[in-house]
Chain A
Amino acid sequence: MNGDRSLLLMGIGGAGSAMARGVERAFGEEINSVLVDTDALSGDTGGRFVLLGGERLSGRGAGGDVVMAKVAAEDSIGALDEHLEGVRMAIVVTALGGGTGSAATLVVLKRLASLGIASIVFATTPFSFEGDERQRNSRSMQAMVEDAANASFILPLDGLVAGEDNMERALARAVDSMASGVTLFWRMLEKPGYIRFDAERLRRFISGAGRGRFATATAAGEGRAARAAEAIKAAISARPGGQIKSAVIGILAGDDLRLSEVGEIAESLRADIGALASFEVATVNDEATFSGRVAVVAMLFESSTDDVQRGGKAARHGKGAPRPKTSPLGVGPSGRGRFANSEPTIYNGEDLDIPTFVRQNITLDV
């Protein structure tokens, strides 16, 4: 296996496990990974697997029941520990909306935090046609996942595929799209480059990251750098959010990557994103994968490491684990604040502990 064991890929739930397998296939080499699910079928493809709630659910899955999935995860979370030895950062891929993907992800993230392991979550949200319950589950868990992870990227499935696809192809494309993005991210951390951005550097960087936006683009031929940068800008503008305070731009290419191309991509994105507190560029040299092409991975955050340092509470998750924050007062990205450690008050699928003006997207002119 290439790479060290300090970086771990985790797939949670049925869709999360499928996406993690997609990353392994796309990467082409063995990855330090583990799949976690209440459904024993997810473990059938070999590799390391943790079955949650084996006695309670007999390996048949949680049937979309968030409460059952949470209880099952809490039953078995200790079984995960043997796979976490030596791990310093976990990349978690999951799908919010279902039972295991929603509830077990939260339990796993809390476990990681308690062990001092930094976490980056890539989570999809359901297609808009998937029904109210899954949408509500997703909305209510999203805030808690953002709170529990060091950095999180929430990607609506609607935005990953075209509406003209048939159902089967759309779902497969969504999984592939997510997996390819995560794979590029994984390559950025694992492969050598002239400007390395390895897992340890990323771990420090995401200590104050919180909610983020994630985009990838590839281009080949004449003007490939400019076209890749434009594609990234288009993807970012399609998912507007708050002011960007920090960014990591990964540029992956073969041996033909020119210094001017690195500068062109970096300057173009920096100008578009605005005045940043922190802007990091990494390059990866991988001729076997990117010969003649350039791929760009962009991670943008609405908070920075400085925010966390001002708050002075980064270590409250134990063992010095970095902690996501957007507030210097410990309110946290979701705003659960004083209720952060209590059971959520769920009504019609919404977590009422999250400020109403946040859930209702009310803009305040303070």
Chain B
Amino acid sequence: MSAINAALEIGSSRTVLAIGETQQDGRLKVICHSEIPSSGVRKSQVFDLDQVKKSILSVLRESEKKQLEVGSKITLGNAFLVVSGAHVRTTPLCGTTAVARQKVTQEEIDEVRRSLDSFSLPNNREALEVVERGYELDGMDEISDPKGMSGSVLKLHALLVDADANRIQDARTAADGAKLEIRDPLFAATCAADAVLEEYERQNGALVIDCGGGTTGYAVYLNGRLVTAGTIGIGGDHVTNDITHAFQTTWAQAEAIKVTQASAMPTVLPGESARVQMPGDSPLMESRTVSRRALNTVVNARLRELLTILREKLEEVELLHRLHAGAVLVGGGARMREFPALIAQVLGTSARMGRPIHVDGLDDTPDSERFAAIAGALLYAQRTYEEKSFFDLIRRVFR
């Protein structure tokens, strides 16, 4: 029997549950993914535990229905948690040790790695991951393996990704109420990177932009490693809210024309109608048309602002001009026409949509970039816990 893991994402707009299974060739297959609209979550943070618990119960039921379609029945006991939100931050860490005999030994490498453990987080923060960024020996940095090299002071640079412990605990509490134990919390943007980036992109400098409903996460990889990550408090819901305000329409109408009609670029393309039909959805809101140019202008202003903030953050850490492999766009809020073109314009780098390429089972899923983060969480689970996940994660009954 192959190993099976589950991952849960409680977003501002939708709650997603996916189950992955390792195939005989070692590749991960997503055997079931389910999503329902979220409630009780705002800006990626739980504000109504009961509502979130109900959302989790609903997505579990939805998952069971979908499993029946693929001929299996899995009762989930726990799941990895995909975390996003403005409370996620990164902190550079540095461990230091003296080199005793001018040549670095394995013991000294182990010692400098242990020194990172002495870094203590405040009680209200929880570590999501610690990524080694490279060694430094007497001022010479970006050393991948210092063993045997000559020098007197060895440093190890690392990047800590941490989040508000209370926000994670809220998600745990809601999941507990739905009889689902939460395992490791994982940052959405780095999970997505695991699922969508090719190795050469990680080496040459790649940016992953995970546009969610309430926030947008980002992660930059260079020389094969995560070098910076963070969150900006703007997501796809802000675009929808702007459309609602500009055209005095309902949320559902605004969301519909955002994903079907709106463009991230302000221009109206040849062949496109000058006006966009907005279907009526209630006695208050009758069917009508709005200017396509105005619609695009609203969307462009918001997304340009988001990308300008991102550009500023990348300039601060001197990474903007090192993105030789370009940007990769994922997430449920990414579904807007010409979004990659706007990224290319604002960040000055190539951009593409990020379909999960390191997992099977999502090829036929429309807009599969929406599932990049949760697919990446399953890859993490496979990589880290496969040995253990056999019995203690799930109980599976084959039909």
DSSP majority for the B interface?
helix
Q: Does A356 contact B (CB under 8 A)?
A: yes
Residues of B within 8 A of A337 (CB): 241, 244-245
Among the listed A328, A335, A345, A365, which residue makes an inter-chain contact with B245, where contact means beta carbons less than 8 Å apart? A335
Contact assessment for A345 and B233 in the assembled complex, using a CB-CB cutoff below 8 Å = yes
Contact assessment for A331 and B301 in the assembled complex, using a CB-CB cutoff below 8 Å = no
Q: How far is the CA of A339 from the CA of B305 in the complex (A)?
A: 18
Listed by A's residue number, 19 A-B pairs whose Cβ atoms lie within 8 Å are A328-B248, A328-B284, A329-B244, A329-B284, A331-B244, A337-B244, A338-B42, A342-B47, A347-B233, A347-B309, A355-B242, A355-B302, A356-B301, A357-B298, A358-B245, A362-B297, A362-B298, A364-B294, A365-B293
Contact assessment for A339 and B241 in the assembled complex, using a CB-CB cutoff below 8 Å = yes
Residues A331 and B245 in contact in the complex (CB < 8 Å), given A345-B43, A345-B233, A347-B233: yes
Among the listed B297, B302, B304, which residue makes an inter-chain contact with A364, where contact means beta carbons less than 8 Å apart? B297
Q: How far is the CA of A355 from the CA of B247 in the complex (A)?
A: 12
A31 to chain B, nearest CB (A): 38
Q: Does A366 contact B (CB under 8 A)?
A: yes
Residues of B within 8 A of A345 (CB): 43, 86, 233-234
Can you list, as one digit per residue, whether each of B288-301 has a CB less than 8 Å from chain A (1) or not (0)? 00110110011001
Contact assessment for A362 and B233 in the assembled complex, using a CB-CB cutoff below 8 Å = no
- Measured CB to CB, the nearest residue on chain A to B285 is A329
Interface residue total, chain A, C-beta cutoff 8 A: 24
Can you list, as one digit per residue, whether each of A67-99 has a CB less than 8 Å from chain B (1) or not (0)? 000000000000000000000000000000000
Q: Does B238 contact A (CB under 8 A)?
A: yes
Residues of A within 8 A of B301 (CB): 356-357, 360, 362
Residues of A within 8 A of B304 (CB): 356
B residues whose Cβ falls under 8 Å from a Cβ of A: 42-43, 47, 86, 232-234, 237-238, 240-242, 244-251, 284, 290-291, 293-294, 297-298, 301-302, 304-305, 309
Can you list, as one digit per residue, whether each of A306-343 has a CB less than 8 Å from chain B (1) or not (0)? 00000000000000000000011101000111110011
Among the listed A336, A338, A339, A355, which residue makes an inter-chain contact with B298, where contact means beta carbons less than 8 Å apart? A355
Q: How far is the CA of A347 from the CA of B216 in the complex (A)?
A: 14
Q: How far is the CA of A360 from the CA of B303 in the complex (A)?
A: 13
Given contacts A339-B42, A357-B301, 13 further A-B contacts (CB under 8 A): A329-B284, A331-B248, A336-B241, A337-B245, A338-B240, A338-B251, A345-B86, A355-B241, A356-B302, A356-B304, A357-B298, A360-B305, A362-B297
Can you list, as one digit per residue, whether each of A176-214 has a CB less than 8 Å from chain B (1) or not (0)? 000000000000000000000000000000000000000
Contact assessment for B290 and A353 in the assembled complex, using a CB-CB cutoff below 8 Å = no
Residues of B within 8 A of A365 (CB): 291, 293-294
